[in-house]
Amino acid sequence: MSRKLFASSRNLPILVTLGLFIVMFGLGSIAFPGFFSIQNFLNLFIDNSYLLILAVGMTFVIISGGIDLSVGSMLALSGMVSASLLEKAHMSPLFVIPIVLLMGTALGLFMGYLIQAFDLPPFIITLAGLYLARGLCYVVSLFTISVKNNFFQAAAHAQVNIIGTNFLSPGALIAIGVVLIGFFVSRYTKFGRTVYAIGGSEQSALLMGLPVARTKIATYALSGFCSALGGIVFTFYTLSGYGLNGKGMELDTIAAVVIGGTLLTGGVGNLFGTLLGVLVYGIIQVLIVFQGTLNSWWTRIVIGFLVFVFCVLQRLFEARKGATLGRNTAREPAKAAAGR
Amino acid sequence: MPEEMPVLSMKRITKVFPGVKALSAVDFRLFKGEVHAIMGQNGAGKSTLIKVLTGVHEQDSGEILLEGKPIRPDSPLAAQKLGISTVYQEINLCPNLSVAENIFAGRQPTRFGGIDWKEMTRRSEELLKRLNLVIDVTQILSSYSIAIQQLVAIARVLDISSKILILDEPTSSLDETEVEQLFKVIRFLRDEGLAIIFITHFLDQTYQISDRITVLKNGEFVGEFRTEMLPKLDLIAKMLGKELSEFSYAADNDQRKRAFAIAGKDAKNVLNVKDLGLRGSIAPFDLNLNEGEVLGLAGLLGSGRTEMARLIFGIDGANQGEIQVKGKKAAINSPRSAMMAGMGFCSEDRKSEGVFADLTVRENIILALQARNGVFKYITTRKQLEIADEMIKSLAIMTPSANNRASQLSGGNQQKVMLARWLATSPIILILDEPTRGIDVGAKLEIMELILNLSRQGMGVMFISSEFEEVVRCSSRIAVLKDKAKIAELNGEDMNESSIMRTIAGGN
Amino acid sequence: MTSWRSLSRTKIVWPLIALGALLLLNLFFTPHFFRLEIKQGHLYGNLIDILKNVAPIMLLSIGMTLVIATHGIDISVGSVVAVSAGAVAILIGGDLAGHPKYPIAVAMIAALLVCTAAGMWNGMLVSRVRMQPIIATLILFVAGRGIAMVFTNAMVIWLYAKPFAILGQGYVLGIPFSIYIVAFVLLLTFIFTRRTAVGMFIEAVGINPTAARFSGINAKNILFWVYTFSGLCAGISGLIVCSTVMSADGNNAGNLYELDAILAVVLGGTSLNGGKFYLFGSIVGALIIQTLTTSIYAIGIPADVSPVVKAFVVWAVCLMQSERFRTRIVRVFVRKGLSA
């Protein structure tokens, strides 16, 4: 019986998120005329395309039991570098985009190496990465660089019709593509499954002979790649590079991932949850805009509150898991009680 | 059974750690189709022997022959590749993955470049069916009981191909029916010709499942026996390293006299435990302790001694029973409340539960008293030094000064520091879990002398030790534990090593 | 090895040497760094600038020291700074004539109460709900800035109540007033931790939580109050930040301060793994960071770029604290010694 209970509770966070999204969309549709439309739904993808891409990379890192705080400023740096190479060095997007992606991957790789090889806390290492990327933005330029490159202009304004005249932007399509690829990787590759194994128990993963070191470093490289790609998509969206772009976005990303049902302690989560988390994040913003009198900063408070609710939910699940494994972990509560 | 060639033979294995000779010239043989138990007390070298075999440690000398060929695995993975697999007590699988994935992690079947989940499910079910286990393999591992998780771990290593299966304390968190389920699988695998090494603290289980027993003591090889040829009593004697006839029946006379004296003048009861128990930890027990008495807790490793102490001191929450201190019911639900009620407790795990390595000896000593006084009744540094110096002197703690860090002290002296921490609070009940473990002989004697002194001053002491000799020498009464339950109390003439052993061997 | 470690960990020597080296570099490269002038009866110059700007970080690092000593971390302090600034600003009000809406003292106390409550929230999550400190404080990190912006209705509030400016802009005997506040808080904290058993208990919980529990220490309460205190420190810090610029900008006030504070504590010799803590070390650590920032500025590099330098400092400090890194370095030296 307890097995069935747990089986359902495993997907419960995602169901809660899905329910939350439907309720919010429904409430919005009832309360505000003009809220309910397919385009309004598709706009969630368009307006949050870059966030979705960051969240995919972040999901891998968090499932492996780590965290990457550098994604927001990496997004800004990618935008800055793209803009600068395009507008100041007049390079072709054909070169700019691979260069930027490579740069992001390399920085992620470097941080992953530090974390894995020297057993350092991911939190601090990537926080320094946040600083580095943010500072480097201003090394590139202290001011906004607007992007006039034809390809980027085209990407920014293009509309791809999906259902009738309802459309998605190229950025949104890229984001959806990233989610799908991410889902395949997480579910159908050994790399993806090893990420889950490490998050479940790094010690066990090692003893099972899984390539722990390589995989851990690769998740940070992947997250670096995603933030760089997010930066490019963000540039499609805003057509400019600026050092303050994506400020605090690392937390929006983490929040979206957590709301999507991924455990911050690692091992549990999936990319459709993350997609839902991003949609919930998006719809909160839209609702507050439609509501009109509340200032947009309520979004952050609501997001903070949701993170709190989901974290408490997760603690409850852990407690229940602890209960089913009670006999094995009889001594654990004593250690946990001390608050580590 | 004809003397065929053993599938594994370890010859004259020696392993030295800094300061300790963990194994000296130990021999071990393992045959196809047998369950071979390795028995021994703490520090006997069981786990070191296994670690050498599985490539965690490398032996300093001696050789390992697998099917006649010398091997030298340098990691658990290498050992696994050679066909030597281990299933540990703390199951080394990922609780968040499905059963099927845990079996196939790293070797998942693929199709069209992606993992073939269907195939994986099918093959897992097949594998588990061999072990007589029919479960939904797509569920995550943690949704199953420890017993099933263990079988999954076995299935995994069997699939990787296994010549030797090592089961390290597999039953310590299983209930009876689960143990039976596991044993069924073990017998089945044995009959299929697998060679199995079985390590357990449970005496009865050894007799239920094993064909052969190797006994180790203090890193030395004591002997290899066929299980049915070795009576339980002999086994215990060999584990303790003595022949039965060697035991002196004359215990410490002074102690005996005092015990009678205490009993005579209706001694004041300081601790009365009624029906206290925690499911999965220790069966409900009664216990009482008088002023000036040393109550020894005797039992083999894993018999429930530590669990008993933890329950009384409020570390683990009991799910039944009550505790009375000095005749009054005490609500003990945390170490703090136990301390407030007048108890002290020195844990057996000095390093992770006792000493604060980075704090000074003075701070280590003063901590419990300060915690008892509360944050604001600050004991001034001068007063702290006074107390610490007094303790250092009276317990003969070897330290350059009270302001040295505790991590710089030897094990015996750290033990004394922990004792001093509790003595500073002048408790009425002191629980000492293996205070003599891992310290040199001189220090052992000092600590035992100290225990007797404390009891003479009227303190009620509970003394836990793996060395029955020590228990007998110090105690005025002995509670005997076996397989996570209190099975008897010995006093008077019965307080000797051989009757403890008889009680453990016989009392079923 | 042990003597080197004990020296490096127990003495304030290392941070002082680092600070000295930094000043020495300035002596060579930017001699004007040390110039002091008297204008309008106040001392002016880079050194005074450092003192003037360092106070908020110092205050945060005092609270953070105790949190880190328990093997925790508080990443919400930057947001709480913004909350404090926002709260005090709306209570004083933006009256152009400088008449405060509520008495300045009342406004300040109210702001501090709000921040203490924020600290209690963190403390409750860590000690009672038993969340990981990073996750627990992440919630206010996200929501805090939102709360600040809601307080100020997403506008920058300018203050004209002159007396309030003393906090961040006043001088006493040529030294910024804020430094006196830091000294006061530091002294109180020192007395409170070192002249009572609090400090020892905090260290005990940080070194070995199990042993602390077994010794009868109420670890939960220790954790709760440590986070509460950190919130209070962030509150005071926020008042000074607000007073220095006489405005409250919920978006930028205290931005990235949490990393500065953590860095200051680590530079000061307190290990991220908890245990022995060094309040004065943290103060010196804060000085190092501010001197670094000011030095970079003095050399002529834009202040926005200074995070790049900080990032490398963080990585270097982390590597120094990594056991694995040290053994590897030792191995390299040993090998060299053998071959030579």
Same domain, B480 and B405: no
Q: Are strands A160-163 and A166-168 parallel, antiparallel or unpaired?
A: antiparallel
Asked if the model's pLDDT at residue A330 lies above 70, the reply is no
* C-alpha to C-alpha distance for C117 and B93, rounded to whole angstroms: 42
Are C203 and B352 in contact (CB < 8 Å)?
A: no
Q: Which helix (H) or strand (E) holds B111?
A: strand B110-111
Residue C60's φ and ψ, nearest 5 degrees, are -60, -40
Q: Are residues B276 and B361 in the same domain?
A: no
pLDDT in tens, A197-207: 999 999 889 88
**What does the pLDDT look like over B413-424, one tens digit per residue?**
888 899 899 999
Based on the fold, state whether residues B432 and B445 are members of the same structural domain: yes
Q: Is residue A8 in a domain?
A: no
Chain B touched by A159 (CB under 8 Å): no
Position A274 scores a pLDDT of 95
- According to the model, what pLDDT value does residue B387 have? 92
pLDDT reported for residue B262 = 55
Q: Residue B47: its pLDDT value, please?
A: 83
Q: Which of B355, B372, B376 sits opposite C216 (nearest CB)?
A: B372
| pLDDT value at residue A6 | 43
pLDDT of residue B125: 93
Q: How many CB atoms lie within 10 A of CB C195?
A: 12
Contact state of C213 with B334 under an 8 Å Cβ cutoff: yes
Average pLDDT over chain B reads 85
**Phi, psi values for residue B480, rounded to 5°:** -105, 135
Alpha helices in B83-194 (DSSP H): 99-104, 117-130, 146-159, 176-191
Please say if the pLDDT value at position B118 is more than 90: yes
**C-alpha dihedral sign at A215, A221, A227, A233:** negative
C195 touches chain B (CB under 8 A): yes
The last residue of a domain, from among B402, B426, B450: B426
Which one is the CATH code of C2-300: 2.60.40, 3.10.110, 1.10.3470, 2.30.30? 1.10.3470
Residues C148, C234 contacting (CB under 8 angstroms): no
Q: What integer pLDDT is reported at residue C340 of this predicted model?
A: 46
Q: How far apart are CA C79 and CA C231, in angstroms?
A: 10
User: Closest Cα to residue B462, out of B294, B334, B337?
Assistant: B294
Alpha-carbon span C250 to C252, nearest angstrom: 6
Task: Judge whether B286 lies within some domain.
Answer: yes
Q: Does the pLDDT value for residue A101 go beyond 90?
A: yes
Partner residue facing A128 (CB), from C129, C138, C314: C314
Looking at residue A308, its pLDDT comes to 86
Number of domains in chain A: 1
C131 touches chain A (CB under 8 A): yes
User: How far is B422 from chain C, CA to nearest CA, in Å?
Assistant: 8
Partner residue opposite C142 with nearest CB, options A117, A138, A255: A255
Domain membership flag for residue A138: yes
Q: Which residues on chain B place their C-beta less than 8 Å from a C-beta of chain C?
A: 313, 315, 334-336, 338-340, 345, 347, 352-359, 363, 366-368, 370-373, 375-376, 378-379, 405, 421
Residue range B302-344, pLDDT digits in tens: 788 888 999 999 888 888 888 988 888 888 888 999 999 999 9
- pLDDT at residue A111, as a whole number: 96
ipTM entry: 0.82
pLDDT at B408 over 70: yes
Per-residue pLDDT band for B242 (boundaries 50, 70, 90) equals: low
Q: Read off the pLDDT band of B210 (50, 70, 90).
A: very high
Decide if pLDDT at C152 tops 50: yes
Does the structure show a pLDDT above 60 at C75?
yes
Residues of A within 8 A of B91 (CB-CB) are 204, 328
Span B253-265, mean pLDDT? 53
Question: Reduced to 3 states, what is the DSSP secondary structure of residue A143?
Answer: coil
Q: What are the pLDDT digits (tens) for C282-334?
A: 999 999 888 888 888 877 778 788 888 888 888 887 887 777 887 887 777 77
Distance from CA of B201 to the nearest CA of C (A): 26
Q: Where are the alpha helices (DSSP H) in chain C?
A: 2-10, 13-29, 46-69, 77-92, 104-127, 133-151, 166-169, 177-194, 198-207, 209-214, 219-245, 257-267, 279-299, 306-321, 323-339
Shared domain for B24 and B161, answered yes or no, is: yes
Give the domain CATH number at B110.
Answer: 3.40.50.300
B19 with B159, same domain?
yes
Domain count, chain B: 3
What radius of gyration do chain C's Cα atoms show?
Answer: 21
Terminal Cα distance for chain C, rounded: 21
Q: Is residue A124 part of a domain?
A: yes
**Which chain C residues are Cβ-neighbours of B373 within 8 angstroms?**
197
Highest mean pLDDT among A158-162, C5-9, C286-290, C296-300: C286-290
As to burial, measured by CB atoms within 10 angstroms (0-12 exposed, 13-18 middle, 19+ buried), residue B485 is middle
Mean pLDDT, chain A, rounded, equals 85
Is A156 contained in some domain? yes
CA distance B419 to B435: 9
Give me the total of CB pairs closer than 8 Å, taking one residue from chain A and one from chain B: 95
Average pLDDT over residues B212-227: 90
Q: Would you kindly state where each structural domain of chain C is located, as residue ranges? A: 2-300, 302-340
Q: What is the pLDDT of residue A54?
A: 96
CB nearest A188 (choices: B114, B315, B316): B114
Structure tokens at A102: 């490579």
Residues B285, B211 within the same domain: no
What local confidence, expressed as pLDDT, does residue A318 receive? 66
- B252 and B223 both lie in a single domain: no
Cα–Cα distance, C230 to B439 (Å, whole number): 43
pLDDT in tens, A260-298: 988 888 888 989 999 999 999 999 888 888 887 777 778
CB contact under 8 Å between B280 and A326, yes or no, is yes
CB-based contact (8 Å) between C143 and chain A? yes
pLDDT band at B398 (very low <50, low <70, confident <90, very high): confident
The confidence score (pLDDT) of residue C3 equals: 47
CB B91 within 8 A of CB B150: yes
pLDDT at residue C122 in the model:
94
Calpha distance B258→B242 (Å, rounded): 28
A81 versus B174: the higher-pLDDT residue is A81
Cα–Cα distance, C279 to C113 (Å, whole number): 24
Q: Tell me if B497 is assigned to some domain.
A: yes
Q: Are residues B203 and B176 in the same domain?
A: yes
Shared domain check, B439 and B294 = yes
Phi then psi for residue A91, to 5 deg, are -90, 160
Contact C145 A300 (CB under 8 A): yes
Q: Is residue B1 part of a domain?
A: no
A259-268, A315-324, B126-135, C285-294: the lowest-pLDDT one: A315-324
Q: Which burial class, exposed, middle or buried, applies to C40 when counting CB atoms under 10 A from its CB (0-12, 13-18, 19+)? A: exposed
Query: Which of C6, C215, C275 has its CB closest to that of B368?
Result: C215
C126 touches chain A (CB under 8 A): yes
C-alpha span between A47 and C285 (Å, rounded): 42
Range of the domain at A215: 49-279
Confidence class for position C338, pLDDT limits 50, 70, 90: low
Structural domain containing residue B361 = 349-426
**pLDDT for the residue numbered B431:** 93
